Chains A and B, each alone.
Chain A
Amino acid sequence: MLELYQVRKHFGGLRAVDDVSFTVDAGCIKGVIGPNGAGKSTLFNLIACNIPLSSGTIRFDNREIQRLKPYQTAELGFARTFQNIKLFADMSVLECVMVGAHSKGRAGFLAGMLPLPQHRREEAAIRRKSMECLEFLGIADLAESPAEALAFGQQRAVELARALAAEPRLLLLDEPAAGLNIYETAELGRLIKTIREQGVTVLLVEHDMSLVMDICDEIVVLSSGRKLAEDIPSRIQHNAEVIAIYLGEDYEPAR
């Protein structure tokens, strides 16, 4: 579904992402891990089309996407969350989530000024869909609260609801467990699995090992911008190179 081929991103002399290739198959949960400075966030921003590639290609359904604008990737079926939560100020939770369904609507600027019946029906459908997403995440009772006033964990949930409102095909999660406690992280893991069962492909960049090892089908390990390993979680846990970069070369894995 998503293919990265020899993706490079250089900032001046710094090779933030250097010759990374991998694929994400439809219906799979893929994780990208690596120590601080490994290039995870840069890679994430490249896939989300937020920053241009230095070289290489990214394909989605066999179509090159690296030159698209972020809003165009949303139209293709991408949805994402942000590491440092970006909810919309001055909006209720429900309205925030309704923005997520933006690419599902058609009504233009003038239609918005004149509430024509067709436009009203579309608004009602967007509202319904957004409420469903809030219910799915168990925060329907917060629909009318100002989004900014929520607790951190709830804001994370609103971001996820906003991403789901787009009915995405590929869900990009940028460190979704950052700032969550272990219970919330476990709950998040269950949610992500349920989302995948609904046919959504998931790519997550994450620090939290327990989450990644628990839910991912496959893991890519980055180190200093390069791909160090790509495998299923159980084998990544016993990969000597991975252990070396995370824990130091002298570490003896427990038997």
Chain B
Amino acid sequence: MLGQIRTRLGAVVASVVLLQLLTTFTGTEYYLTQLTMSAYYGLLVIGLCALMGYAGQISIGHAGFFAIGGYLSALLTTYNLTPHAENSAIALLNQAGLLFTWENLYGESLLTFTPWAAALAALVCAALVALLVGIPVLKLRGHYLAMATLGFGTIIYRMALALPILGEADGIADVPGFILIPASLFGGEALMISGEGDFRIFNYYVAWAVVLAGLVLLMNLMTRSRSGRALRALHSSEEAAEACGVNTSRAKLQVFVLSAVYAALAGVLLTHFKGGIGPEEATVMKSVRYVALVAVGGMTSLWGTLFMGVGLSFLSLRGVFGSYDDAVFGLILLAVMLFAPGGLSQLNSHIPWRRLLPYRRA
């Protein structure tokens, strides 16, 4: 089992490197931009896969958590605190190193939260919201979570669209780069998560490092830990899991919060990479798309979900589906539910070439 995971991880790392070299040598490095963005969507869908595929709890509101992460880090890193600099609380934050001064595209000098502080705040906020939504809902069985998260996602979308501070229909633009390695550390230029061309290859690897780290953590949890077994157990019988000593409400809440944090982290990093976020990221259609990606990825397959999540997001970002973008994902969801409601891994015995697919269960 462990050997198999290592082999696959090695294969994924090798293909990531190969793709980069290929684009560099063929002069098509612009593909890396969409591949980076797709990797972040991949992070979101593997988190949703843990919730949906393994623990059996459906969320149709994960775009909401993505938006909480993205919008909050965008707001905190662009909201100019200079007029309030004299305020003692702001001064205190500044002294603690949580604020920094930078110049935006128009040469204005801004005093804002640092990306690190903003990201932390965004993740904590997403976790708390997930806790608030999850506590009442996860005590119930069945599809209550799907309904509640649908409502939650709609609220977040309307807020993004209506609140002037979040830029209404325009969203928030001109978000600064997320400096990961400061210039002072190695003497060279600072390395940051940013859409600027100079950082393209660096960003591509950062995104994949984050996604694969996230994948390994979930793999450990699901395949060889007590808590992961408990989640898979309650998926098939909550009653039997309880009788084995599993606190099912708590376990469901934990995995819900975890998957919300994955979504929020994807939102934070993608927002810094794109330099902004708009309300289209918070739509219910996005949430449905993520559900479709988990379903087509094989439901209980983190590898399959990552492969499909990244692959289809990439095609979508390249505009391959044209104006049928949302329809394609709707169609995928429909087809999976009709022909393989348990996930594509269910089809194993029918497809002779299936060994070539990454659907086998981890």
Query: Pick the contact of A166 from B245, B247, B248, B300 — CB < 8 Å?
Result: B245
Question: Which parts of B210-252 form the interface with A (CB within 8 Å)?
Answer: 217-218, 220-221, 224-230, 232-233, 235-237, 239-248
User: B244–A74 contact, CB under 8 A?
Assistant: yes
**How distant is B162 from chain A, measured CB to nearest CB, in Å?**
36
Known contacts A90-B232, A91-B232, A113-B220; is A75 also within 8 Å of B245 by CB? yes
Indicate if A151 sits at the interface (CB-CB under 8 A).
Answer: no
Known contacts A89-B236, A122-B226; is A70 also within 8 Å of B243 by CB? yes
**How distant is A94 from chain B, measured CB to nearest CB, in Å?**
10
Indicate if B361 sits at the interface (CB-CB under 8 A).
Answer: yes
Q: Hey, which chain B residues are within 8 Å of A80, CB to CB?
A: 243
User: B226–A88 contact, CB under 8 A?
Assistant: no
Indicate if A126 sits at the interface (CB-CB under 8 A).
Answer: yes
Indicate if B258 sits at the interface (CB-CB under 8 A).
Answer: yes
Q: Hey, which chain A residues are within 8 Å of B243, CB to CB?
A: 48, 70-71, 74, 78-80, 82
Question: Which parts of B151-170 form the interface with A (CB within 8 Å)?
Answer: none
Which chain B residue lies CB-closest to A97?
A: B244
User: B242–A71 contact, CB under 8 A?
Assistant: yes
Chain A: residues with Cβ within 8 Å of the partner, total of 39
> A187 CA to B109 CA in the complex, in Å?
82
Known contacts A50-B239, A109-B254, A112-B227; is A103 also within 8 Å of B220 by CB? no
Q: List 27 A-B contacts (CB under 8 A).
A: A48-B243, A69-B242, A74-B242, A74-B245, A80-B243, A88-B236, A88-B240, A91-B229, A91-B233, A99-B230, A100-B244, A102-B244, A103-B244, A109-B227, A111-B227, A112-B220, A112-B226, A112-B227, A112-B228, A113-B225, A115-B225, A119-B225, A122-B226, A123-B225, A123-B226, A166-B244, A166-B245
Instruction: Kindly list 17 other residue pairs between chains A and B, CB separation below 8 angstroms, not including A109-B255, A112-B221, A113-B221.
Output: A71-B245, A71-B247, A74-B242, A74-B243, A74-B245, A88-B237, A88-B241, A90-B300, A95-B232, A98-B229, A99-B246, A102-B246, A109-B227, A112-B220, A112-B226, A115-B224, A119-B225
B-side interface residues toward A, CB under 8 Å? 217-218, 220-221, 224-230, 232-233, 235-237, 239-248, 254-255, 258, 300, 361
